[in-house]
A and B are shown apart, each in its own frame.
Chain A
Amino acid sequence: MNLFEISGLKKNFGDRTVLNINELTLQTSKIYAVLGPNGSGKTTLLRVLNLLLAPDSGWIKFMGGDIGISQADRLSVSRQMCMVFQRPFMFRSTVFNNVAYGLKLRRVAKPECERRVNEALDFVDMVDFAKHSATRLSGGETQRVALARALVLQPRVLLLDEPTANLDPGSVQHIEEIIRKYHQEYNTSVIIVTHNLFQAKRIADESILLINGEVVERAYTAEFFDHPRELRTRQFLDGTMVY
């Protein structure tokens, strides 16, 4: 089944076009890695998919249906996905309350809320931190809480914006394990923006290269890295591309 169908999507910031995607279809239950140099539109693509930014033209279908323009329609779509940011913001409260935030917005009953928060914290190995202040965690811990805060909502799609940037190798491995495990257990679709080519190789089913807002190549990850079709992909992977 198609998760997202994108057609004629354009997003401008002032005079600059940051996204210009003719056609792109993403399927459910897969892990996609979105690669590309800085300023290629990767994060903008995630924000548009998460309905945080409105495109200037084109359309996006989610799970085969158009996304309505009313606030209620957009809310019902956006509640089926969740984004984890490169530098997650922790609300000034405990780790528990941070993870419970989305459930409270959805008015989930207290006993169920507690059970799901504890499960999510257990999933990311942060149960012992439940009562700690969320603003006093290390980078790796913060990222794990941010993941738990998203996973607890059991989204259909998880949008990850460089979730392991600035983390040490141990923390990177830990986060990748969590993503892989969650994807396997819950069949959740994952779209991960990363600068780490090895990470894309390790966890993604398919890889997509964006340059200047355009999709240059999209292929199964093994094929993408071993037999890239496009010259710009080869240059990007070789590190010979001058941006």
Chain B
Amino acid sequence: MEAAVSSLFAQKMEILEIVKMSLQVSGSATLLSALIGIPLGAWIGLSEFKGKRLLLRLVYTLMALPPVLAGLLVYLLLSRSGPLGFMELLFTPTAMIIAQCLLVTPIITGLVSAGIAAKEGLIFEHAISLGASKTQATWTIIKEARTGIIAGIMTGFGRAFAEVGAVMLVGGNIRHMTRVLTTSIVMETRQGNFEMGIALGIILLLLSFMVSSIVLSNAEEFSLK
């Protein structure tokens, strides 16, 4: 443990840079996924349409998408010979964000849809009976399903923050550019620097704990106002 702490202090600046990059990439990916996944999940949860069950099965399947496969797909898309190769995004933080979005969007969509569908009928009837229009009733359902929505966001962030396969493939673990906590842990372990690997792992867990604490405490404030 002492060795782990002293290795951390020795490379303080570089670790801060890695932490910053990890938060930037996973935070942006989660934010983008939430912007897509919350409305999509709400729409699936609230609507009845042909093919809904098939769409839900697809979303639930994608929730278990292996990170390496997501990374491979983005790699093929962004590689020089790929359809988006001209954008020269491979081995950049943007490529890492895209890959993580692919992993996180289905998680947020699936959990939001399940959270909303569980309450939809009951809340809708109460809201309409109290004089809500359909739009107002829908907004009330979304507010009431906030625990499910926040759980979706937090699970998505956790998935993005802890995954290594996708960011390793499309980011390349380039020092000062695309190196994040998880890829650093893999690298340190390969080099036999187990103390450093453990120290980075502890940082990863602590950051994850801090982010979820901040989000959950703010969520309590988000009530019927």
* Contact surface of A with B, Cβ cutoff 8 Å: 47, 50-52, 71, 75, 78-79, 82-83, 85, 88-89, 91-94, 97-98, 101-102, 105-106, 149-150, 153, 159
Asked whether any CB of chain A lies closer than 8 Å to the CB of B133, the reply is yes
Q: What is the bound-complex CA distance between A51 and B125, given in angstroms?
A: 10
Q: Are B123 and A75 in contact, with the CB atoms below 8 A?
A: no
- The interface residues of chain A, by DSSP majority, are classed as mixed
Closest Cβ of chain A to B212, distance in Å, is: 19
Interface size class of B (residues with CB under 8 A): 20 to 34
Q: Pull 19 A–B residue pairs with CB atoms less than 8 Å apart, ordered by A.
A: A51-B128, A52-B128, A79-B131, A82-B131, A83-B129, A85-B125, A85-B126, A88-B126, A89-B123, A91-B140, A92-B223, A97-B224, A102-B131, A105-B131, A105-B133, A105-B136, A149-B130, A150-B130, A159-B129
- CB-defined contacts of A101 to chain B, threshold 8 Å: 127, 130, 224
Instruction: Tell whether, in the assembled complex, residue A89 and residue B122 are in contact, meaning their CB atoms are under 8 Å apart.
Output: yes
- Chain A contacts of B143 at CB under 8 A? 91
Q: Is B132 an interface residue (CB 8 A)?
A: yes
Chain B min CB distance to A192 (Å)? 15
Give every chain A residue within 8 A of B130 (Cβ-Cβ).
82, 101-102, 105, 149-150, 153
B134, B140, B224 — most chain A CB neighbours (10 Å): B224
In the bound assembly, the distance between CA atoms of A227 and B130 in angstroms comes to: 38
CB-CB nearest 10 A-B residue pairs: A93-B224, A102-B130, A83-B129, A79-B131, A93-B223, A97-B224, A89-B126, A102-B131, A89-B122, A105-B131
Q: Is the CB of A71 within 8 A of B134?
A: yes
Measured between C-beta atoms, what is the minimum distance from B80 to chain A in Å? 52
Known: A52-B125, A89-B123, A105-B136. A97 touches B223 (CB 8 A): yes
Give the contacts of B118-154 with A (CB-CB under 8 A): 122-123, 125-134, 136, 140, 143-144, 146
Contact with A along B196-225 (1 / 0, CB 8 A): 000000000000000000000000000111
B131 — which chain A residues lie within 8 A by C-beta? 75, 78-79, 82, 102, 105-106, 153
Chain A residue at minimal CB-CB distance from B131:
A79
> What A residues does B122 contact at CB under 8 A?
89
- Residues of A within 8 Å of B125, CB to CB, are 47, 52, 85
Which of B130, B132, B140, B225 is packed against the most chain A CB atoms within 10 Å? B130
Q: How close is B40's CB to chain A, nearest CB, in angstroms?
A: 23
B129, A92: Cβ atoms closer than 8 Å: no
Chain B hits for A149, CB < 8 A:
130
Which residue in chain B gives the minimum CB-CB distance to A53? B125
Chain A nearest Cβ from B142, distance in angstroms: 12
B residues in contact with A79, CB < 8 Å? 131
B222 to chain A, nearest CB (A): 10
Contact between A50 and B129, CB atoms less than 8 A apart: yes
Produce 1/0 per residue, B43-70, CB < 8 A to A: 0000000000000000000000000000
